[in-house]
Amino acid sequence: MGFINEYINRRLGGSELESELLKLISEYNKLRNTYLFVYAAAIGKPIPAVPLEQADFYVIRDLLAIKKDLRKVDMYLETPGGSGETAEEIVKFLRNNFDTVSFVVSGEAKSAGTIIVLSGDEILMTETGSLGPIDAQMKIGRSVISAYDYIEWVEEKRKEAEKQGSLNPFDATMVAQITPGELGSVFHAFKFAEDLVVDWLINYKFKKWTVTESRKIPVTEEMKRKRAAEIAKELTNHSKWRLHGRSIKIDDLEGMGLKIIRVDSNPKLAEIVYRIQTVCRLLFETTTSFKIFATQDNKIFRQAVPVGAPVRIPKMQVPDAVEIEQKCPKCGIVHKIYAKLASNPQIDVDFKNKGCIPFPKDAKIICKCGFEIDLLGIKNQIEIQSGRKVIVE
């Protein structure tokens, strides 16, 4: 039986899955003699804050800055990518505060996630883990595009104009909208990611690379720089990988000359890592969480705030209770809830007769489909709009 079926059969709710995650992190720490930080994002959820962003750096820093006695830290990383500048901030913080930093990849660590992983002393990957091509994602007009693809298109049109003497009207119109400043920004963004990878590979991943594996000859700084540049070139080779979201697996990385620790070769470690991945996936699928920050001591779960205005608060006066219609994001069932703003037993009678349930103490409800809906954002909205506290009994 797989881990997903095991957890489903155990019928664990959101809070129980959170406790299971912290337990697994503790087991990982004992096995590896380290301190694991889990950073996982709900890849695929249509939420703007899923990619790596500056706010994530502040949470990571806050949770790890108090660990002054630690010299070694591992990070379980799962992200679709995001801000290259945030990736740089995270790596600078980790490298300035810990002697050894390793990264664990069992899902996807793409784009900016790949850049972060390549700063590690060790890279641990399962068979399901994957990195991706490195490339800055730029906002041009209304779209977010690959800096590499943008530069490649401009260069293609330049060569076409030189060869034919002109461009077709459509391409000419598009090229005419490109400013030198915009083109320069795209080029520098692309080189920024490439330069980070080269520097970090030399300074961290290759730090203990002193002799070659086959011929046992001393490794010079020039050899390290050459190897790092080759790896960075491979990871930015879009003519090879084709898609920005392409998965680059262990065999691909080892073929580039990167040493990867295969998690699956250690059954006990593999079980813990796969369970961590499974628990994170279940939390994303059965709750409104879309981002997880967790250590064995602390946890922060970012929740998606329901879209729309499900709270009915009269504008003319502050009521003693408000009615909420919360639709389950998974199955579509509408839950009727009431929130009391005054301690009046008649409120309970009236709303229960209408088929409503009282606002839960933990601000969470479990739908019939098993999905956990977080109502904390709605509670905050009610209290801000009404100027009164929600009463839970």
Domains of the chain: 3-132+247-303 (3.90.226), 147-183 (no CATH), 311-386 (no CATH)
Percent of the chain with pLDDT over 70: 84
Please say if the pLDDT value at position 216 is more than 90.
no
Task: Convert the chain into a string of H (helix), E (strand) and C (coil).
Answer: CCHHHHHHHCCCCHHHHHHHHHHHHHHHHHHHCCCEEEEEECCCCCCCCCCECHHHHHHHHHHHHCCCCCCEEEEEEEECCECHHHHHHHHHHHHHHCCEEEEEECCEECCHHHHHHCCCCEEEECCCCEECCCCCEEEECCEEEEHHHHHHHHHHHHHHHHHHCCCCHHHHHHHHCCCHHHHHHHHHHHHHHHHHHHHHHHHHHCCCCCECCCCCCECCHHHHHHHHHHHHHHHCCHHHHCCCCCCECHHHHHHHCCCCEEHHHCHHHHHHHHHHHHHHHHHHHHECEEEEEECCCCEEEEECCCCCCCEECCCCCCCCEEEEEEECCCCCCEEEEEEECCCCHHHHHHHHHCCCEECCCCCEEECCCCCEEECHHHHHHHHHHHCCCCECC
What dihedral angle (degrees, nearest 10) is formed by the CA atoms of 193, 198, 200, 202? 180
- Categorise residue 149: left if φ over 0, alpha if ψ from -120 to 50, beta otherwise: alpha
**What is the reported pLDDT for 309?**
45
Average pLDDT over residues 164-168: 79
Average pLDDT over residues 321-338: 87
The predicted-structure confidence for 139-163, as pLDDT tens digits, reads as follows: 666 556 666 677 677 777 778 778 8
**What is the reported pLDDT for 170?**
73
DSSP β-bridge partners for residue 105: 125
The predicted-structure confidence for 81-133, as pLDDT tens digits, reads as follows: 888 889 999 999 999 999 999 999 999 999 889 999 999 999 999 999 999 88
- Tokens found for residue 152: 């490649």
Average pLDDT value for the chain: 85
- Highest mean pLDDT pick, 60-64, 340-344, 367-371: 60-64
Answer for the pair 372, 288: CB distance below 8 angstroms, yes or no: yes
**What is the reported pLDDT for 241?**
56
Average pLDDT over residues 235-251: 72
Please say if the pLDDT value at position 268 is more than 90.
yes
CB neighbour list of residue 164: distance below 8 Å, 6 or more residues apart: none
Q: Please indicate, yes or no, whether the overall pTM of this predicted structure exceeds 0.95.
A: no
- Model confidence band, residue 368 (pLDDT cutoffs 50, 70, 90): confident
Q: How far apart are CA 159 and CA 175, in angstroms?
A: 13
**What is the reported pLDDT for 243?**
55
- Model confidence band, residue 189 (pLDDT cutoffs 50, 70, 90): low
Please say if the pLDDT value at position 313 is more than 60.
no
